[in-house]
Amino acid sequence: MNTPSPVPHPENPATQGKTKKRNNFVSIQRAPYFFLFPAAVLFLLFTAYPIVHSFILSFQTTTEEGRVFVGLDNYIRLFQDRLFYESLGNTLIILVFQVPIMLFLALILANILNSGFIRFKGFFRVSFFAPAVTSLVAASIIFLLLLHQDYGLVNYLLSIAGLNSVGWLNDPLGAKISLILVTTWRWTGYNMVILLAGLQNIPKHLYEAASIDGASKVRQFFSITIPQLKPVILFAAVISTIGTLQLFDEPYTLTNGGPIHATTTITMYLYRNGFEYFDFGYGSAIAYVVVLIIAVLSLIQFKWAGVER
């Protein structure tokens, strides 16, 4: 006995149309735009709008009557401001010493961890990278205890050795040196990880061929490692330069820009004008000059390395 097959019921035309429209609405072609939409909204609200608004503010000043358009007055005032040049000079001094030292140490550590005779490589990688993700407040307290002139551990060890104590944070030169050391300690591991990734991408057969030809390890380092690692070194140099020109956390927490403005960086000077003195127009002008300086220095680094954009 044959069982009659069920006859499908015809769909309601209204429901069928809605289903079709819904399928068309979330089609594959439109799906990427739905994923990009939240990021685009956040970018417009928290990046694009502040950039444009800050640019407009740089041509204004705040008075009792509200914001007033002043043209290029903020920029003219900036280039006549002694503290601007002093803070820019402090930043460039830190940059000239800190970035090369940090990249040199990062390159040495990356080569050591990339060698075959080191055990527990994962442990050392995490240990060297940890300062980059350590709480800055906790790190600042530790360095304050280490470098304090009266009860710091460093001066205590110097006194045991029969040496005079050093005003690491109270002397202008000592404060700059301390800031360079702290910044180098914090970001060397970060750059080491970047350079280590570049080292691991260098083809092994280059070293094998050089060994067969009788090249020493030193010759291999300068003839193979450095040329192959050049783009990665350039990348690390550019991001380190940008980071140092934006240096704020370390001087703010350790020295608060002192003594006598010796560690006031350009970003700290921007912050004080904008958020302590509420001179948003002048602060915005400083911000755009900093952006211009970063762009010029980055372009110089690219040209010096022989990389054309």
Taking alpha carbons only, the member of 52, 51, 56, 58 closest to residue 73 is: 58
Q: Which of 26-35, 100-109, 235-244, 296-305 has the lowest mean pLDDT?
A: 26-35
97 plus 164 within the same structural domain = yes
26 plus 104 within the same structural domain = no
3-state secondary structure of 28: coil
31 plus 135 within the same structural domain = no
Taking alpha carbons only, the member of 295, 292, 287 closest to residue 57 is: 287
Tens of pLDDT along 113-149? 988 777 888 888 899 999 999 888 888 888 888 888 8
pLDDT averaged over every residue in the chain: 86
The answer to the question of residue 135 being in a domain is: yes
Higher pLDDT, 8 or 155: 155
What is the mean predicted confidence (pLDDT) over 246-265? Answer: 90
168 plus 258 within the same structural domain = yes
The answer to the question of residue 252 being in a domain is: yes
CA 164/CA 269 separation, integer angstroms: 33
97 plus 215 within the same structural domain = yes
User: How many domains does the chain divide into?
Assistant: 2
Q: Cite the DSSP H helix spans in 115-135.
A: 121-133
Q: Which residue has the tokens 């690491």?
A: 168
Rounded percentage of the chain residues whose pLDDT exceeds 70: 90
114 plus 39 within the same structural domain = no
212 plus 272 within the same structural domain = yes
- Res. 176: pLDDT tops 90: yes
Res 307: pLDDT: 53
Taking alpha carbons only, the member of 91, 95, 110, 103 closest to residue 187 is: 103
What is the Rg, in whole angstroms, of the alpha carbon atoms belonging to the chain? 29
Give residue 48's domain range: 21-57
The answer to the question of residue 6 being in a domain is: no
Res 138: pLDDT: 84
- Res. 161: pLDDT tops 80: yes
Predicted TM-score (pTM) of the model is 0.82
CA 1/CA 84 separation, integer angstroms: 98
Tens of pLDDT along 4-48? 555 555 555 555 555 555 555 557 778 888 889 999 999 999 999
